[in-house]
Amino acid sequence: MPTAAPVLTPAPTIAVPRPQSRPSSEQFDPAGKHAYFIGIGGCGMSGLARMLRTRGAVVSGSDKEQSSATDTLSAEGIAVGFDQSKQWLPEGCDFVVASAAVKPDHPQMLEAERRGIPIYLYAEALGKSMIGSTGVAVAGTHGKSTTTAMLGCALTDAGLDPSVIVGATSHQLVSGCLKPLASVAAGFRLGSPVIPTGEQAGRPGVLVAEACEYNRSFHNFRPTAACISGVEADHLDVYGTLDAVVESFHEFARLLPPAAEGGYLLIGHDGAHRREVTAGLDCAVETIGFSPAADWVVGYDASTRGVTISRRGRVEAAWTNTVAGAHNAVNAATAFVLARRLGADPERLAASLSRFSGIDRRMQLLGERPVPGGTVRVIDDYGHHPTEIEVTLRALREAEAPEKRGGRLICVFQPHQHSRTRHLLEEFAASFSHADVVIVPHIYFVRDSLEEKHKVTSADLVDRLREKGVRAMHLYPFEAIIEQLETMCRAGEVVVTMGAGDVWKVAKGYLEA
C-alpha cells in the first residue's frame, strides 16, 4: 500500500456553468414515477433509461435525431421523440434526466425549470442508482470504456450477472465473450438485483459503470469499489491545471467507503499520482502495473499478446489477449483484479478476457478496400488525447506491421476541441512518431467558446508535426481527405481514422467510394 502523503491544496479551477451537486446517501426509488430523458440516444443515457424502466419508472425521452439506440428503445416500448420543443415535455413528468451534452438553455430544460420539475444530469441519476447496489466505478484519463466492457463481460461469463453501463458499444456486452456474438452492439447490460454466485453470493447486485472526470461528474457516484488507471492533464477547459485534475481524482477516491465496509481502490502504480490521490483514504488500496513494486504485477509479451497477472510473486492467471497493445494488457488485468475482488472464479475470468474482441471505435477494423495488387486495411479509433494516440499507433504498428507488406501507417486525426488542442499542442505533436503520414482536418468544435476557437488551428498542429519530421498535411472537407486517400494509398497500407468527433465518416467514405 502506498505511503500516505499530505492532501493536495486545491488548485484554482475554471468555473463551470452548471456545477453538479454531491449525491445524498438516500436510495433512489424511481418506481411509479415518470422520468423524461433529454438526449436519450446516448450510450449511457439509453442504458440508464432502460435500467430505471426495469426499476418501475415510466420512461420517455427525446433526442436530436434517430439512431440505432433510439430504434432499440422504441422497439422496447419506450416513447422517443425528435421534436425537442418545450411543448413536447410531457405533462405529469416527475423528473428529468439530461445528458451532459445538453446545454442549460435547451427548450425542454428551460420548460422543466419553469414547471419546477427536478432535473438530474446523467451522472447524478446514475450515481443515485448506484446506491443500494455493489457499485464498481471505472475511472482514469484513459481506458475507461474498454476496461468497463472487459469487466462486464468477464463478470457475466463468471456467472455474477452484472448490470453494466459503458460509454461505447460492444457485441459481447450482453452475453459475455464465451457465447456467440450478439447481432446488435450494446452499451448496456441489465443484470440481477443480487449476486447469484461466487464468494459474494447474496450481496446486492453488481452495477459496473464508466466514471468520467469531465466537469467532475464522477463525484456523483457512490461505488463500493473503483479503479483509477492513470491521471493526466485533460479537460483543462474545466480544471485549468494538472493539480486540479489530481485533486478531483482524490475527491472521487474519498467517496469509497472504509475498508471495513468493503471499500476498495485499485490504482495504477505509475502514472496515476497515486500518493496524492490515495492520501488519507479509509478504503483498502492496491496498485497495479508493469512495475515489480506494484501489488498486482502485469506481464505482457507483445509478440504473442500473452498476459500474466501476479501478486506477491505468484502468477494468479495467464491468458492471451485478442486485442493488441500493452495498454490493453493493463486494461484486462485491471478487469481481472476487480472481478476477483467481487468473488469471480479466476479460470472463468481468464477464459473470458482471452476472448474479448474489443468495443466499437477502439482499434476497430472496419474493412479492407481493394486496390491494385492487394488491399488497404481501414481501422477506426476514438483516441483523442496524446497518450491514447501514442499507445494506439504503437499497438497498430506492432499488430499490423504494414511495412512488412510494403505499406505505411496513415493516420487521419481529427483534433477534439480547440482548448484541448491548444493546451496539449506540444504533447500532440510528439504522439505521432509511429505514423508514417498524418492528415489533419479541421478541429472538431464542441463546448468551446468562439474566442477559444480562434486561438489555435489544425495548421498549428501540422506545423509542429513537420518540425518533428512527420509527414503531415491539413486537408478539409472530409471529401477531400477521401480523395487524397484514393490517390495515395497502395496495397499493404493501413489507414486509421482517429478522434472523438465524426472522423469515422472518412473511414466509411473511403471504404464505400
CB 209 within 8 A of CB 218: no
Q: What's the rounded Cα separation, in Å, for the pair 73 and 76?
A: 5
Q: What's the rounded Cα separation, in Å, for the pair 113 and 108?
A: 9
CB 408 within 8 A of CB 402: yes
Say which DSSP state 21 is in.
Answer: P
Q: Write down the H helix ranges in 172-320.
A: 236-239, 242-253, 274-277
- In Å, how far are 159, 198, 203, 230, 261 from 132, measured between CA atoms? 20, 19, 10, 28, 13
N- to C-terminal Cα separation, the chain = 55
CATH-assigned architecture of domain 131-355: 3-Layer(aba) Sandwich (3.40)
Domain 131-355 matches domain 364-512 at the CATH topology level: no
CB atoms within 10 A of CB 15: 7
pLDDT at residue 213, rounded to an integer: 87
Amino acid letter, residue 469: G
pLDDT at residue 18, rounded to an integer: 35
**Considering the domain 364-512 in this protein, what is its CATH number?**
3.90.190.20
Q: Which homologous superfamily does the CATH classification assign to the domain defined by 34-121? A: NAD(P)-binding Rossmann-like Domain (3.40.50.720)
pLDDT, one tens digit for every residue, the chain (513 residues): 333 333 333 333 333 333 333 344 556 788 889 999 999 988 889 989 999 998 899 999 999 888 888 998 999 899 999 988 988 999 989 999 999 888 889 999 999 999 999 999 999 999 999 988 999 999 998 889 999 999 999 999 999 999 999 988 888 999 999 998 877 788 889 899 999 988 888 999 999 999 988 889 899 999 999 999 999 878 777 888 999 999 999 999 999 999 999 999 999 999 899 999 999 999 999 999 999 999 999 999 999 999 999 999 999 999 999 998 898 999 999 999 999 999 999 999 999 999 999 888 888 899 999 999 999 999 999 888 898 899 899 989 988 889 998 999 999 999 988 888 888 888 889 999 999 999 999 998 877 778 888 889 999 999 999 999 999 999 999 999 999 999 999 999 999 999 988 999 999 999 998
User: Beta strands of 363-451 (E only): which ranges?
Assistant: 364-371, 374-381, 409-413, 437-440
- In Å, how far are 95, 133, 211, 272, 340 from 269, measured between CA atoms? 41, 28, 19, 7, 19
Domain assignments of the chain as residue spans, ordered by start: 34-121, 131-355, 364-512
Q: What's the rounded Cα separation, in Å, for the pair 44 and 371?
A: 39
pLDDT at residue 27, rounded to an integer: 64
Q: What's the rounded Cα separation, in Å, for the pair 5 and 279?
A: 5
